Structure 1
Amino acid sequence: MTQALIFVIFPFCLAVAAFSDLFTMTIPNRVSAILLGAFLLAAPLTGLGLNEIAIHLGAGLLVFSIGFALFALNVMGGGDVKVLSASAVWFGFTASLLEYIILVSFFGGLLTVAIVMLRGKSTQIYAAGLPVPTHILSGNKVPYGIAIGAAAFAAYPSSPLMLAALG
C-alpha cells in the first residue's frame, strides 16, 4: 500500500494539476490537499520520524512563503503556489527539492516562450482551426501548473520517498 501511495498519488495529482491548468487556468484546491494528506500518510510508513516529517513540512512552508510573496506581486497564481508548496513537502530539504525548483523555473521559462510564440501566431491558429484553448491564445497568464507537473515528473525519482519506496 505504501508503494501505491508513493508511485501513484504524487504523479496522478501533478498530472491532474497540469491538465486542469491547461484547460481551465485553475488548479483545484483538492489536488494540494490530497498531496499533503497523502504525504502525511505515506511518510511514517516509509520510516520517516517526526523530525524528518517536520523538516519536509518546513520545506513546503518555505516554498509557500516565497510563493505567497510572488502571488502578492502578481507573478504566480494562487493554485500554482499551493500545488508547488504541497509537492515540495514530498521532497523535503534535499538536493531533489533544489532540482525540482530549478526544473520548475526552466520548464516555466520554456512554457512562457512557447505561449508567447503561440499568441503571436493566434490568427493563423484560429484560421487553421487548431484545437488550442482560447484562454491560452488570448489571455495574459501562463498555465504554470504544466511546468510544475513536468518538473515534478522529472525530479520525483530522486525524492526521498521515492528512493525509500524503491529501496
Structure 2
Amino acid sequence: MILNILGGVFLALCVFAAMHDVNRLTIPNWLNLTLAGLFVPAAAISGVPMEIIGGHLMVAALAFMVAFGLFAFNIFGGGDAKMIPAVMLWLGPDAGITFIFVMALAGGAFALLILSVRQLVPAAVLPGFIRAPFEENAGVPYGVAIAAGALVAAPASPFLANLLKQISLFS
C-alpha cells in the first residue's frame, strides 16, 4: 500500500515537472530531489532484492553521467539532466530502453510541434501558462518527454508495476 502511494506520488510529480517545464522552462531542484528521494523509502519497503536495487542505482548513475555530458554540451538543461537520473532510479534497467526510446520520440515530436507553432502562431496569442516554449529563442521543455517516457516505461519497473495493475491502466 505504501509502495503504491510512493509510486503514485512519483508519477504525479513527473507530470507536475512536465507542466512546470512547459510553464517556466525549468524543473526545480526540489522537484528532482523529491523524485530521487522518494526512491529510498520505496526501496526500503518494497521487498525487492538488493541486487535489483543495485541495478537501479547503477543505471541511475550511468544516466547521471550521460545526462550531465549532454548538459555540458548544452543539449539538455540542468533540470532535465537531473530529472533523467531521478526517473531512471525508479525505472531501473528493465525499463531503461523503453524509457529512452519513448523519451527520444516524444522529445522529437514535441520539438517539431513547438517549432511548427512558432512559425505559424505568434506567442502573444497563446495562453500565458503555455506561452514560454513558443517565445522566440526559447528552449524546448524536455520535461514533457521525460515524463512521457516515465509513464510508458513504468509497468516494467518492480516499484511501479503493481500500482499500475491496481489502477487498471496497463493490465
Question: What TM-score results when the alignment is normalised by the length of structure 1?
Answer: 0.89
Determine the structure 2 residue equivalent to 1:64.
64
CA contact (8 A) 1:5 1:42 kept: yes
Determine the structure 2 residue equivalent to 1:102.
101
Determine the structure 2 residue equivalent to 1:11.
11
* Aligned-pair Cα RMSD in Å: 1.8
> Mind listing any 5+ residue stretches in structure 2 that lack a counterpart?
167-171
Counterpart AA for 2:152: A
Determine the structure 2 residue equivalent to 1:40.
40
Secondary structure of the structure 1 residue equivalent to 2:58: helix
Determine the structure 1 residue equivalent to 2:157.
159
Query: Displacement, 1:30?
Result: 1.3
Note the 1:9-158 alignment, pairs <5 A. 9-94=9-94, 96-123=95-122, 126=124, 129-131=125-127, 132-158=130-156
Secondary structure of the structure 1 residue equivalent to 2:38: helix
CA contact (8 A) 2:154 2:160 kept: yes
Identity of aligned residues (%): 32
Count of residues paired in the alignment: 162
> Mind listing any 5+ residue stretches in structure 1 that lack a counterpart?
none
Secondary structure of the structure 1 residue equivalent to 2:90: coil
Alpha-carbon separation, structure 2, partners of 1:29 and 1:37:
12
> Measured at CA, do residues 93 and 134 of structure 1 come closer, stay the same or move farther in structure 2, by a change above 3 Å?
closer
Query: Displacement, 1:134?
Result: 4.1
Counterpart AA for 2:88: A
Alpha-carbon separation, structure 1, partners of 2:132 and 2:62:
35
Query: Displacement, 1:41?
Result: 0.6
Runs of 4+ in 1 over 6 A off after TM superposition: none
Alpha-carbon separation, structure 2, partners of 1:144 and 1:98:
18
Counterpart AA for 2:4: Q
Counterpart AA for 1:21: D
Deviation digits for residues 66-106 of structure 1, max 9, x if unmatched?
A: 11111111100110010111000111111x11101110000
Alpha-carbon separation, structure 1, partners of 2:32 and 2:82:
6
